[in-house]
Structure formats: structure tokens, C-alpha cells
């Protein structure tokens, strides 16, 4: 008995496990599948898996799911190997139930009784009842007499009797009065069902019947099962009373209601042979589809309704074909004959069974039955007459072509044959005549064939022969023997035409690789089919017009029906008996009884067009089955019950999934949607998801409808609100307004602050430049002044000298403050703190101001409670704090006033106060007094101007010490100001590198004429644009050295290259060439690189000093300088020159010839080989370091390293210097010109030589010659 021509097979790869234990459908229509590895939910498109997770009580109690049950309230119960769970739709989680036993039982059966009892049977742990949402153990003896605790099967019959069985031979029945027991011996009970008041007990090897108190063997014919070894593994009673029985490897059977004979259920499945399947469980869904859990294979669904399409396949009947069907025709007695390329002819009966495989000519491609009932076979080269009943064939004619592709006739006996690649011909069987037509034959009267590659031929109602070619269509009129100029249109240009069909009104439908087109007979124009965009995204391989006028198209994406009444396309893609989506063989047939045949990859798809159209039933409502944000579920709740969603603007890409929960043919359903009333957008058939990306904040009304068999479902409306970011809300705009006002105010303040900062910076730049300009004059003041102080004898002169000295020192302090400010700005000031007795320290500073106090009759006091107050301070920098505060106090204190310094010590801090009786300040200025360049108003009123740097510097130094400084007006009733400095005790607040311990002082610089040697014979060049500095140095040290002067670096370089000097003293800032550039030129020139250089400059900042030392300066002395310090530095450097004179430098002593160079030391042998190679090859332009390394016998890298160690310069620079020095010697001798000199030292290009010479010596060869002329 064939229950269904085709079912749906879902292989186990699509869900969590192929070991299926149970199947159930919930209240929403989802199919749930219990497996040995998790629980699965199926919506017709997607399987969703639920697994047990460790330490998560909201998941399954175990991954081994044994039973499923949906109760009367719609709740889904899940029994597992270790307990019971209930699925909570609201949270998409599971609620686990606790058993009143120490061990967790395996749930194997569930029963909901009419009296409200809800029972759960276990394997070996008895029966449990759910009351008030709590599980209770059912006492032994309540349902059974014996202590059998296994409840494999339970049922309640129509009389309210309770039936139970375990895994043994015992069956128990309990009525209102007592418990009855029955014993059978035919294996474990698989299922108990009730039929007409009797109980059928289906066991592994038979069926028993309980009737009127007796349990006997049922009088049911089980011969369909075969032998006694067949094992029944599952059974299920459908709502119509049929009983389905599954076996362990022998297929599915049915016991129809009222029947006493078991019958086999046949079902064609793609990927599974049902007759050999192990059917572990059976279930019927609410519309009557039968679901089978096939062990280790997957899930099978057999539809309730007879499928409208049938699949006649070769593989299901045991035939293995090497190709596909290339041609079919209708035979007698409802036979269908088909040709399979390379396999011959096959005959199908009306049920689709292959009943014949007669002999046929080799390489058969085409079978055709003409209107005279004659059969013809076309091969790749020839035509045969044929009798499929006997397999006999007779040769008729041969042709030169690729194959005979198609054939047709008009009933007059002539055959019109497509000779693929060679046009077509007309064959007359009576006289065996052949007339050929080629596209290359041009006839202005008869017209011509458009293309030689003819795919299909069709006669129309007027007797014309239409041909579909690879370049449009052609129409031949046999009556007039000419070609009509029809069918050519630019729309068909570049398209492959596969099939033709005549419509009811005489138009010609054309199936192409770009969809469906229509040739309109009225205006002789071709256009795309006017409905459904003409299937433009599909290959239309074959077209059939049914008896009712509907058009059926076999395409690359299913079978499509055009409903003439509704004027729309209906897609039949998969399911409903269809086992494949692809129909591109371009083979089909329509018979007079309205049967349609389309060839597929494994046989034929067959259907009656009238039945396949079916009734246009209403579709069920659409269910929203998934709402995803970035691929993740939107909510833990049941999306199927929710129609309104809210997402953040950050989650503005969403995906919605829908389903009709139609498990028969979901791939035939087309979903359409529109957003906020816009145009409807159609998805591809079988595609059930809608993806919306980059949604802007707002409310979106998404309307969805489903289309199936030409019928639309009700519209499903989903509302999605994309919440705006907080910054786009109304209150946010108010906030923006307030912020805007604040920003405007802040902008104005910022502009003012930046203007103030720019002004401060300009002031600082001006002061820095001024200090640089002041330092040189200060040198000329303080140097001679120190000498005057040492020789002055007149007391009156001494007073004036002291006055000058005091003010010069004051000017020096001011200059140093400016430099300190800059160092602090650039984080270049480093503290060097020592433990210091502040009493002695401050006393020493106060003594410096005592003279000023005495002169102005100011009472000057230093008060301290102890004589020994220790603190860790940088004595040099902290001195500036106290000095600045005292200087400030004396500045604003009137003559006869009071200045007082108070030192106090607390447990953790030391406080120093400087109190004056001056004018004080306004309270609102207290903080601003420490701002750089700020001048207090009282100072302006008194006409007292300063730089505004001292207090700012004091605050910075105090903060570096970890302290604080503040200014207040006096609180004791007196007028004046009080500045308080607070620093912490100890050194815990200091960094390790800021702490130094005192060490015995040692003399770094020696002084005195006795320590000095007489270096009068040494020659020193002073380079400074200030002539007075040079004169001053010469006056002071002229008795010891011989000095020359150069006004700038450029002049100095020329002098150095022409005269011999032992030392250079250079300023940094000079016109034309500054000191650093001069220093670099000196150190880069081997002729003078050995000369030590002292940089003497007003740029005293650390970065400038480091820059000079990095450039090669031997000493760096800031202006104003101590003449004694300069003298000692000169002595030391001159002494070094004297001791190092004669040492080899790599580029010295080349005055006569290069060969005169002598190298002394441990590397003599290497240098002798180096010099020997260079002397021999100096004039060779190709001579380079690679050649030198080869001559010496070491690698280039080793040579470079050794030359660096010996000479201090690289090997390349050493060679270049030797060439330049040899060139200089030759130029000085004036015996050869510049070109000859270049050639002599290995330069082939004079321009290149001149450039290298100028780079080396700072002047061109010509200038060098002029400089050295006698």
C-alpha cells in the first residue's frame, strides 16, 4: 500500500544527534525532537538545539532526552536520563523539577489522566505524580500489586482503567476495585492502544488483544512483516484510528482502522530507504503528517495529503544510469518511453515502475512517435525506425551533425529533424529523401534560418514550424517553403532559447536562459513575459500548456505554474512529492489526459496539472520564529508571541525569520514584506528571513505576508522601534543648548587664556633673548671687576666697586631666574637634596640682606625656636626661594619698617615665614601673585615694577621639594604681607636620584701659577663676533698663550685650514656660520679634527649644552664665565694636546706623501697592509672598500670594525680622507691642474671631485689654491 509517493527526509547532520528517542509538537506548531545528545526544535526551516550546560539549572537536566509530552495547558515536558524539566516559553529556558528521592530517575513514560493526575513513569524508581507543581512518589501498590518499579508504557482506556507495563512479561491493569495482572511471552511491550473497547498490546514480536477480561493473541494478519525475526520497535495510533508500526530495520507498516491485516507503507525518500530504516519512534502532528525517528539516520515526515507530484526515479528501483534522460514520448497502454544517453531506452508503466529496457541503436539520443504512431530513434549521426516492444530498429538515414536533437511532424508523414550544429532537415520516409536547411544559405526570396544550433522544434496551429536556437527563434512555412521574418528581436540577442509553446491566443512562449519571453503574433514583437518579471532569474528549460490554459515551466529553480485565472506564478520547488529543484534537461511532455512529464537528474517528475493546481485553501497565520540582532537572538522570550520590539541604535541591523509551520513544502512559500507602507519586496522562494541593516532611529512598521499556490496569507505586522542615542532626545537638545552656552563662555575664556599664554611666551622669549645678550656684557663687567676688587687699595674705590659688584650680582641673579624658569618649563631642572641645617642655611642668606636693612633702617629679624632644624633641600635652588621672598619683602617695605623671617618645626613639616610691614595686597590676588609675569595692583600704585618671575619660580621650586607656598596679609593687626613656605620633613617624598649624601670636598680645578706650566708657545684661535670678548681673553691670558681672533665661523675655518692652532675658543651665536656648524666642520675634517674646541656662549640652557657636547665640543662654558675656570680648561686641553701629539688619527700628517703615514700600536701589521694597498691603488677610480678588504685579506665588516677601533672613523671615510689630503697636497704644490689632481686621487669625474673636495674642506679646489698661494 502506497501511503505517500514522497516524504521529507531530514538527515541527522541538521540537528544534534541521529539517535532519536521521541518526537512531539507543541501548542505553537513547532516540532520537538528528543535525542541522545540534546533537544531540537524545528520550524520548517531551522533546527534549534538545546543542550545541558554544567552548573546551569536553567538548561536541560541531561543531554540524553528520553520523552516529550505537551499537556492540555500547552506546556512542554521534557524527560531525561536524570530527571524532569519543563520548557518555559517566557524565558526560553528550562525549569528543573526536584524528585523526593536521593537519586535522579530516568523518565521513560508520561500520562495525563482524565481525573487530573499527572504521572511520570521511571526506569526502576517507580511512579511519580505532579501535584501543586511538586513531584510526589506514588506509593507501591497504588497502581500495581507487585513491586515492579519499571513503567515502560502507561495508558488510560475509555473506562478510566490504568494500564502499565515494564520491560518484562507482566502487564498490569488497575480499575476502581482492584489490580489485575496479565502475562504474555512475545517480547517487551512497545505500545498499548485501544480499539473499540479492546486493548491491543503491541510487543516486539507480535500483538495481543485484551477482550472482556481475557488477554489473547490478536487475530491480525502479520504476514507483511515477513519472518518471525522482525523486531517491532515503535507504534503509534493516529487520530483516525490507524495504527503505525515501525520496525528495527524492516520499514514501516500500517494497520488501518477496521482492518485485520498489516500492510507495508511505501514512501520514496531522497537519501533514505525507508524499508531498511530502524524506526525508533512515530508521531502524528496536528494536521496528520506522520513523523518517524530513524535511528542513526535522521527524521522522516510523511505528509497526510497525497502528494500532487510523483517522482519516477531510476535509483529507487535499483538502476544506475550514467547520464540523464534526453528524450521521452508516450506509448500505448499508458507506457512512457525514455532515452538515457549512453544507456538506451527504458519503459515506465503508469505507476512509474520501469517495466522494460529494450535494445536500441547505439548512441541513442532521441525517441519520437509521430502522428502516424511510428516510433523513431535519433542517434548522434543517424535516424532509425523503432519498435520499443521488440527492441528492433531499422536504419533510415545518416547525417553530418553533432546529434539529432529534436523532431516533429505535421501528420503528412514527413519528419522535421534538428541536426544540431547543422541546421535542420525534412526527411520523407516514403522515398528516403532528405532536404537540408542551413543558416549559411542566403535566399532573398525564401529568407533564411537564423542559427544552425536548434534546441527545440514545434508546429503551431497554422502549420508553421517554430525553432528555438542559440540565437533567437526562426519560423519556417512548409506550405510556401520560406522563412518568416518573425521572432527576431534585440531582447533575445545573446540568449539561449531552449523551448517553445503556443498559447491559447496563438502567441509563442520562449523558454531561455534568461527567463520566459513571449512572441506576440499581432505585432511580431518579442517581450519578456508580462507577469512575475518573466522568471528572469531562472533558466526555463521546457514549457507546457495544460488543458485549462495554465502554463507550466520546468526551470533551474523548480517547477513554476502560471495561473491564467489569477494571473500569477505559483512555485513548486521542493516537497509535495518533488525531490529535486533543478530541471535543465530541456525534456518534457504533455499528454491528452493532462499529464505532464518533466525530466530530472534521476528520472521523471510526473503530475496531473488539474490535481497539482488543487484548491486554493487559506493559509495559516504567519509566525515570527526568530528575531536576531547581529546574528544573536534578540530576546530570551518567545518571539512567536511578540509583535513589538525595541532595539538600541547600536543594534540597528536586525534579521527576522518567519514560518507558516508548513512542514510539507516550505520551500514553495514566498514571503513578501513592506516597511512603513512602502513597496512590497518579494523574497526568493523558500527564503524565510528578512534582513534590515543600518536602521536609523525611529519606529518601523514591518508587514509580512506569505504566498503559496497563488494564495496570500494574512498580513503579519511587526513593530520595531530603534531608540535614538541619548544625545538625540529632546532633553538632550536642551542640554546641548546649555552646553553650547557654556562652551561659548569657555571658548572666550580659553581664547583669553591662550592670549595670556602667548603673551607670557613672548615675554619669556624676549627675556631669554635679553639674557643671552646680557651675558656677554656681564662677562666683560664681572671679569675685570673681580680683578679690580683684588687690586683695589683705596677704601672709597672699594665702596664703589662693591656697589658695582652687588648690582652685577643682582643682574646675574635675575638672568639666572629666567633661565631657571625655562629649565622648569622643560622639566630639565633636577634636584640634588642634602640634609641641611636650615638655621645656618637661612642665616647665611639673611646676612646678604643685612647691608640693605642697615642702609634703609629696616628692622630685620630671624626668629627660630631651635638652633638645629634639619631638612632635605637642594641648597642651590632652595636658596632662590628664600632670596626671592626676602627680596620681595624688602622691595615693598618702606624705610624704617620691619622684615622678619620665622622658622618653625612641627611633627611632620617645617614652616618658613617671611613677614614684612609693607603695603600688603588685595585678598583676591593671593593666588595670582604666584602666576608668571603677574604684577600686583599695589605694586602698580607704588610704581614698583619687576619681572613677575620671582614668586612663580619660588612656587615651582617649593613644589619640587614636595612643599607648598601661600601668601596672606598679616593677621596681627599690622599692615603687610606674610609668605609661608611649608616643606615635609625627611626625604620620603624625594626620588632616589634626588638624594645625595655629603662627601668630603675635593678640588676639581687647580689654580695658581705654580700649578700651571708655561704654554706660551701654544697658538689659540678665539672665534666671537664680539671683539671685546676676544680682547678681554687676550688681555687676561696673553701672557700664557698666543691668541688670534676670527669674527665668525666661516673666517675661522679658512684660518684653521691655512695655519696651525692648538685650541679653538668659539662663541655659538655668530653671523654667517654659527659655532655649532664650525664645530661640526672641524670634527669632520681630518686635517683639523684633532684640535680641541671650547664653546663659550651665552646659551646656558641644558639642551644647548648637550647639543654642543654631542657635536664634539671638548668643553662648554656659559657666559658670564670665570676667567680662572677658562684658564684651567685651556691648560687641561693644551696638556692633552701636548701628550697626544704624534698619535695616529687616520687622516693626519699627510703633508708630504701618503706613504709617510706611520701607524704605531698593536695593529701595525694591519695598517701596513691597508696603507700598502691604498698607496698602490689610490689613482684607480674603481678602487673601493671591497677591493681594499680583499687586498688586506679580511671581510668588509671586519675591516670596518677594525678601522673604527684604530682610527675612530669608518673605512670608507678613511679612504675618502686620504684621497682628499693627497689632493690638497698636490694642489698646494701647484704642479698639476685640478683635472689631473682628480685623476691622480681616483676621481674620473672632475665635477664629482670638486663637490667632494668642497664638502671636505669647505671650499672649492680653486679657492683652496688661491688660499695657499705664496
pLDDT digits (tens, 9 = 90+) for 425-440: 999 999 999 999 999 8
Superfamily of domain 623-728, CATH level 4: Immunoglobulins (2.60.40.10)
Query: Could you tell me which of 655, 751, 661, 665 has the C-alpha nearest to residue 708?
Result: 665
* 1154-1267: in CATH 3.40.190.80: no
Q: Taking phi first (over 0 means left), then psi (-120 to 50 degrees means alpha), and beta for anything else, what does residue 512 get?
A: beta
Query: Residue 1192 and residue 1006: Cα distance in Å, rounded?
Result: 48
Rounded distance between C-alpha atoms, residue 1100 and residue 1119, angstroms:
7
Contact 418, 380 (CB under 8 A): no
Query: How confident is the model over 705-720, as pLDDT tens digits?
Result: 998 877 889 999 999 9
pLDDT at residue 531 greater than cutoff 90: no
Confidence of residue 1253 (pLDDT cuts 50, 70, 90): confident
Q: What percent of the chain has pLDDT over 90?
A: 45
Integer Cα distance of 26 and 946 in angstroms: 93
Name the E strands within 273-388: 279-284, 290-294, 298-302, 310-313, 325-330, 336-340, 344-348, 354-356, 364-369, 375-379, 382-387
Peptide bond between residue 7 and the one before it cis (omega within 30 degrees of 0): no
CA gap 528, 653 in Å, rounded: 36
Contact (Cβ atoms closer than 8 angstroms) between residue 1064 and residue 1056: yes
Higher pLDDT, 180 or 784: 180
For residue 791, the surrounding DSSP H or E stretch is helix 730-791
Q: What are phi and psi of 805, to 5 degrees?
A: -65, -40
Q: What is the DSSP string of 848-887?
A: HHHHHHHHTT-EEEEEES-S--EEEE-HHHHHHHHHHHHH
Give the highest mean pLDDT range of 580-584, 823-827, 983-987: 983-987
- List, for residues 731-785, the tens digit of each pLDDT value: 888 999 999 999 999 999 999 988 877 876 766 666 656 665 666 676 667 667 7
Rounded CA-CA distance 733/653 in Å is 26
Give the Cα-Cα-Cα angle 1083, 1087, 1093 (nearest 5 degrees): 40
pLDDT value at residue 809: 67
Grid coordinates representing 498 are 531552449
Round to whole Å and give the CA distance between 1136 and 237: 116
What pLDDT score does 1123 carry? 77
Report the pLDDT value the prediction gives residue 920, as an integer from 0 to 100.
86
Which residue, among 580, 511, 498, has the nearest Cα to 551 in the 3D structure? 511
- CA separation (Å) from 59 to 40, 53, 69? 13, 6, 17
pLDDT recorded at residue 944? 55
Contacts of 1233 (CB under 8 A, 6+ apart): none
189's grid cell: 511491550
Average pLDDT over every residue of 120-148: 83
pLDDT digits (tens, 9 = 90+) for 785-842: 766 766 766 766 776 777 777 677 667 766 666 666 666 666 767 888 999 999 999 9
DSSP-assigned letter for residue 727: G
**Which contacts of 1132-1135 are long-range, i.e. CB under 8 A and separated by 24 or more positions?**
1133/1063, 1133/1092, 1133/1094, 1134/1015, 1134/1018, 1134/1041, 1134/1062, 1134/1063, 1135/1013, 1135/1015
The alpha carbon torsion through 605, 608, 610, 612 (nearest 10 deg) reads: -40
Strand partners, 633: 628
Are the C-beta atoms of 672 and 705 separated by less than 8 Å?
yes
C-alpha 481/C-alpha 466 separation (Å) is 13
pLDDT digits (tens, 9 = 90+) for 902-920: 999 998 999 999 999 988 8
Q: What angle, 0 to 180 degrees and rounded to 10, lies between the N-to-C axes of helices 875-892 and 838-855?
A: 30
Architecture of domain 1019-1140: 3-Layer(aba) Sandwich (3.40)
Kind and range of the H or E run holding 95: strand 93-97
Average pLDDT, the chain: 85
Nearest to 695 by CA among 657, 656, 723, 733: 723
pLDDT of amino acid 883: 87
Confirm if 207 and 193 have CB atoms less than 8 A apart. no
Q: Sorting pLDDT into bands at 50, 70 and 90, what band is 1116?
A: confident
Longest dimension (CA), the chain: 159
Q: At a CB cut-off of 8 Å and minimum separation 6, what does 1255 contact?
A: none
- CATH code for the structural domain at 830-994: 3.30.565.10
Q: Which three cell numbers mark 904? A: 618653625
Say how many CA atoms lie within 13 Å of 1119 toward its Cβ: 25
- Say what the pLDDT of residue 1130 is: 87
State pLDDT tens for residues 210-268.
998 899 999 999 999 988 889 999 999 999 999 999 999 999 999 999 999 999 998 87
Cβ neighbours around 573 below 10 Å, total: 22
Q: Based on C-alpha coordinates, what's the Rg of the chain?
A: 56
Residues 6+ apart with CB under 8 A from 741: none
At 633 the pLDDT is 82
- How many whole angstroms separate alpha carbon 223 and alpha carbon 960? 106
pLDDT value at residue 270 = 78
Domain ranges in the chain are 623-728, 830-994, 1019-1140, 1154-1267
For the stretch 1176-1216, pLDDT in tens is: 888 888 888 888 888 888 888 888 877 877 776 788 888 88
Question: Residue 1161 above 70 pLDDT?
Answer: no
> What confidence category does residue 1154 fall into, taking pLDDT thresholds of 50, 70 and 90?
very low
d(CA 543, CA 525): 20
Q: What is the mean pLDDT of residues 20-37?
A: 96
State the burial class of residue 1163 (Cβ atoms within 10 Å of its Cβ: 0-12, 13-18, 19+).
middle
Residue 90 main-chain phi, psi, to 5 deg: -65, -35
Angle between helices 1196-1207 and 1211-1229 (to 10 degrees): 60
Phi then psi for 1119, rounded to 5 degrees?
-85, 150
Amino acid at each position: 500500500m502506497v501511503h505517500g509517493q514522497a516524504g521529507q527526509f531530514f538527515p541527522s547532520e541538521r540537528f544534534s544527534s541521529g539517535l532519536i528517542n521521541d518526537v512531539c509538537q507543541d501548542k505553537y506548531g513547532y516540532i520537538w525532537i528528543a535525542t541522545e545528545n540534546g533537544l531540537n526544535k524545528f520550524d520548517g526551516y531551522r533546527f534549534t538545539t538545546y543542550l545541558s550546560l554544567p552548573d546551569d539549572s536553567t538548561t536541560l537536566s541531561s543531554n540524553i532526552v528520553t520523552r516529550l509530552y505537551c499537556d492540555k495547558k500547552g506546556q512542554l515536558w521534557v524527560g531525561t536520563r536524570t530527571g524532569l524539566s519543563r520548557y518555559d516559553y517566557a524565558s526560553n529556558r528550562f525549569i528543573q523539577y526536584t524528585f523526593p528521592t536521593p537519586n535522579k530517575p530516568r523518565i521513560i513514560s508520561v500520562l495525563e489522566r482524565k481525573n487530573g493526575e499527572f504521572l511520570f513513569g521511571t526506569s526502576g524508581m517507580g511512579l511519580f505524580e505532579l501535584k501543586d507543581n511538586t513531584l510526589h512518589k506514588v506509593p507501591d501498590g497504588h497502581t500495581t500489586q507487585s513491586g515492579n518499579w519499571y513503567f515502560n508504557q502507561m495508558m488510560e482506556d475509555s473506562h478510566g482503567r490504568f494500564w502499565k507495563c515494564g520491560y518484562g512479561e507482566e502487564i498490569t491493569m488497575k480499575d476502581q476495585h482492584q489490580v489485575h495482572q496479565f502475562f504474555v511471552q512475545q517480547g517487551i511491550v512497545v505500545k498499548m492502544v485501544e480499539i473499540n473497547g479492546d486493548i491491543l498490546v503491541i510487543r516486539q514480536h507480535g500483538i495481543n488483544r485484551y477482550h472482556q477480561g481475557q488477554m489473547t493473541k490478536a487475530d491480525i494478519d502479520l504476514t507483511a512483516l515477513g519472518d518471525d525475526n522482525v523486531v517491532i520497535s515503535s507504534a503509534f495510533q493516529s487520530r483516525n484510528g490507524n495504527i503505525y508500526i515501525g520496525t528495527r530495520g524492516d520499514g514501516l507498516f500500517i494497520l488501518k482502522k477496521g482492518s485485520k491485516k498489516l500492510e507495508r507503507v511505501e514512501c520514496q525518500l531522497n537519501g533514505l530507504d525507508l524499508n531498511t530504516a530502524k524506526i525508533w519512534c512515530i508521531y502524528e502532528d496536528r494536521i496528520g503528517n506522520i513523523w518517524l525517528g530513524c535511528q542513526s539516520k535522521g527524521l522522516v515526515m510523511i505528509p497526510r495529503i497525497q502528494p500532487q507530484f510523483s517522482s519516477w526515479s531510476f535509483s529507487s528501483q535499483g538502476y544506475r544510469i550514467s547520464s540523464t534522460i534526453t528524450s521521452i514520448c508516450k506509448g500505448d497502454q499508458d507506457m512512457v518511453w525514455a532515452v538515457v544517453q549512453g544507456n538506451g531506452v527504458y519503459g515506465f508503466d503508469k505507476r512509474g515502475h520501469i517495466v522494460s529496457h529494450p535494445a536500441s541503436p547505439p548512441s541513442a539520443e532521441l525517441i519520437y512517435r509521430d502522428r502516424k504512431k511510428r516510433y523513431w530513434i535519433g542517434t548522434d549521426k543517424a535516424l532509425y525506425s523503432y519498435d520499443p516492444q521488440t527492441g528492433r530498429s531499422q536504419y533510415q538515414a545518416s547525417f553530418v551533425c553533432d546529434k539529432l536533437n529534436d523532431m516533429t511532424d505535421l501528420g503528412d508523414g514527413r519528419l522535421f529533424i534538428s541536426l544540431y550544429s547543422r541546421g535542420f532537415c525534412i526527411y520523407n520516409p516514403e522515398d528516403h529523401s532528405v532536404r537540408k536547411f542551413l543558416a549559411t544559405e542566403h535566399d532573398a526570396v525564401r529568407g533564411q534560418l537564423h542559427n544552425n544550433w536548434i534546441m527545440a522544434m514545434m508546429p503551431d496551429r497554422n502549420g508553421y514550424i517554430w525553432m528555438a536556437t542559440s540565437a533567437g527563434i526562426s519560423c519556417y512555412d512548409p506550405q510556401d517553403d520560406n522563412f518568416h521574418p518573425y521572432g527576431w528581436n534585440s531582447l533575445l540577442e545573446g540568449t539561449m532559447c531552449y523551448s517553445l509553446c503556443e498559447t491559447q491566443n496563438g502567441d509563442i512562449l520562449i523558454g531561455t536562459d534568461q527567463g520566459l519571453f513571449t512572441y506576440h503574433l499581432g505585432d511580431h514583437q518579442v517581450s519578456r513575459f508580462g507577469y512575475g518579471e518573466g522568471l528572469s532569474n531562472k533558466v526555463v528549460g521546457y514549457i507546457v500548456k495544460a488543458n485549462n490554459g495554465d502554463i507550466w515551466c520546468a526551470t533551474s529553480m523548480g517547477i513554476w505554474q502560471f495561473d491564467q485565472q489569477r494571473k500569477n506564478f505559483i512555485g513548486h520547488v521542493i516537497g509535495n512529492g518533488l525531490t529535486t529543484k533543478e530541471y535543465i534537461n530541456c525534456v518534457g511532455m504533455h499528454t491528452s489526459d493532462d499529464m505532464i512529464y518533466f525530466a530530472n537528474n534521476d528520472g521523471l517528475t510526473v503530475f496531473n496539472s488539474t490535481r497539482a493546481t488543487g484548491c486554493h485553501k487559506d493559509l495559516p497565520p504567519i509566525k515570527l520564529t526568530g528575531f536576531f540582532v547581529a546574528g544573536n537572538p534578540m530576546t530570551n522570550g518567545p518571539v512567536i508571541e511578540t509583535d513589538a520590539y525595541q532595539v538600541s541604535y547600536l543594534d540597528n541591523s536586525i534579521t527576522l525569520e518567519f514560518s507558516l509551520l508548513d512542514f510539507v513544502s516550505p520551500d514553495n512559500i514566498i514571503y513578501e514584506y513592506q516597511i512603513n507602507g512602502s513597496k512590497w519586496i518579494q523574497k526568493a522562494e523558500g527564503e524565510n528571513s528578512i534582513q534590515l541593516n543600518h536602521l536609523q532611529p525611529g519606529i518601523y512598521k514591518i508587514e509580512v505576508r506569505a504566498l503559496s499556490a497563488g494564495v496570500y496569507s494574512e498580513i503579519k505586522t511587526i513593530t520595531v522601534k530603534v531608540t535614538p542615542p541619548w544625545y538625540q532626545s529632546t532633553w538632550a537638545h536642551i542640554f546641548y543648548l546649555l552646553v553650547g552656552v557654556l562652551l561659548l563662555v569657555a571658548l572666550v575664556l580659553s581664547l583669553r587664556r591662550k592670549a595670556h599664554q602667548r603673551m607670557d611666551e613672548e615675554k619669556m622669549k624676549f627675556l631669554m633673548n635679553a639674557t643671552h645678550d646680557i651675558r656677554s656684557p656681564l662677562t666683560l663687567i664681572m671679569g675685570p671687576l673681580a680683578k679690580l676688587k683684588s687690586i683695589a687699595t683705596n677704601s672709597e674705590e672699594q665702596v664703589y666697586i662693591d656697589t658695582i659688584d652687588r648690582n652685577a650680582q643682582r643682574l646675574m641673579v635675575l638672568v639666572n631666574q629666567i633661565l631657571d624658569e625655562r629649565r622648569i618649563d622643560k622639566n630639565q631642572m633636577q634636584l640634588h637634596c642634602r640634609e641641611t641645617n636650615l638655621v645656618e642655611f637661612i642665616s647665611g642668606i639673611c646676612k646678604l640682606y643685612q647691608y640693605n636693612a642697615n642702609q634703609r633702617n629696616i628692622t630685620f629679624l630671624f626668629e627660630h625656636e631651635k638652633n638645629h632644624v634639619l631638612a632635605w633641600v637642594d641648597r642651590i635652588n632652595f636658596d632662590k626661594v628664600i632670596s626671592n621672598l626676602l627680596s620681595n619683602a624688602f622691595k615693598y617695605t618702606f624705610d624704617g619698617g620691619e622684615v622678619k623671617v620665622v622658622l618653625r618645626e612641627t611633627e611632620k613639616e617645617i614652616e618658613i615665614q617671611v613677614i614684612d610691614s609693607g603695603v600688603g595686597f588685595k585678598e583676591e590676588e593671593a593666588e595670582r601673585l604666584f602666576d608668571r609675569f603677574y604684577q600686583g595692583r599695589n605694586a602698580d600704585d607704588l610704581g614698583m615694577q619687576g619681572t613677575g618671575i620671582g614668586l612663580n619660580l619660588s612656587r615651582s621650586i617649593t613644589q619640587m621639594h614636595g612643599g607648598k607656598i601661600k601668601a596672606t596679609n598679616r593677621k596681627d593687626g599690622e599692615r603687610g604681607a606674610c609668605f609661608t613656605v611649608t616643606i615635609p620633613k625627611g626625604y620620603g617624598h624625594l626620588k632616589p636620584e634626588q638624594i645625595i649624601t655629603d662627601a668630603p670636598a675635593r678640588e676639581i680645578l687647580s689654580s695658581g701659577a705654580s700649578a700651571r706650566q708655561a704654554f706660551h708657545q701654544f697658538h689659540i684661535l678665539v672665534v666671537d663676533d664680539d671683539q671685546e670678548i676676544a680682547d678681554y681673553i687676550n688681555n687676561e691670558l696673553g701672557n700664557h698663550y698666543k691668541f688670534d681672533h676670527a669674527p665668525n665661523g666661516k673666517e675661522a675655518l679658512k684660518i684653521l685650514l691655512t695655519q696651525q692652532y692648538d685650541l679653538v675658543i668659539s662663541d655659538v651665536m655668530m653671523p654667517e656660520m654659527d659655532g655649532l656648524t664650525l664645530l661640526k666642520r672641524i670634527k669632520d675634517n681630518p686635517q683639523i679634527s684633532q684640535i680641541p674646541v671650547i664653546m663659550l656662549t651665552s646659551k646656558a640652557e641644558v639642551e644647548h649644552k648637550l647639543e654642543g657636547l654631542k657635536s664634539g665640543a671638548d668643553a662648554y662654558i656659559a657666559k658670564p664665565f670665570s676667567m680662572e675656570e677658562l684658564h684651567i680648561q685651556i691648560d687641561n686641553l693644551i696638556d692633552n694636546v701636548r701628550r697626544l701629539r704624534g698619535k695616529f688619527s687616520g687622516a693626519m700628517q699627510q703633508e708630504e706623501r701618503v706613504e709617510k703615514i706611520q701607524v704605531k700600536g698593536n695593529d701595525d701589521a694591519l695598517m701596513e697592509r691597508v696603507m700598502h694597498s691604498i698607496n698602490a691603488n689610490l689613482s684607480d677610480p674603481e678602487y673601493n672598500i671591497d677591493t681594499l678588504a680583499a687586498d688586506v685579506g679580511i671581510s668588509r665588516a671586519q675591516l670596518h670594525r677594525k678601522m673604527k677601533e684604530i682610527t675612530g672613523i669608518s673605512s670608507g671615510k678613511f679612504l675618502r680622507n686620504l684621497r682628499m689630503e693627497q689632493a690638497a697636497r698636490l694642489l698646494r704644490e701647484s704642479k698639476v691642474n685640478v683635472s689631473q689632481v682628480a685623476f691622480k686621487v681616483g676621481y674620473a669625474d672632475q665635477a664629482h671631485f670638486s663637490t667632494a673636495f668642497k664638502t671636505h674642506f669647505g671650499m672649492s679646489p680653486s679657492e683652496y689654491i688661491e688660499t695657499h698661494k705664496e
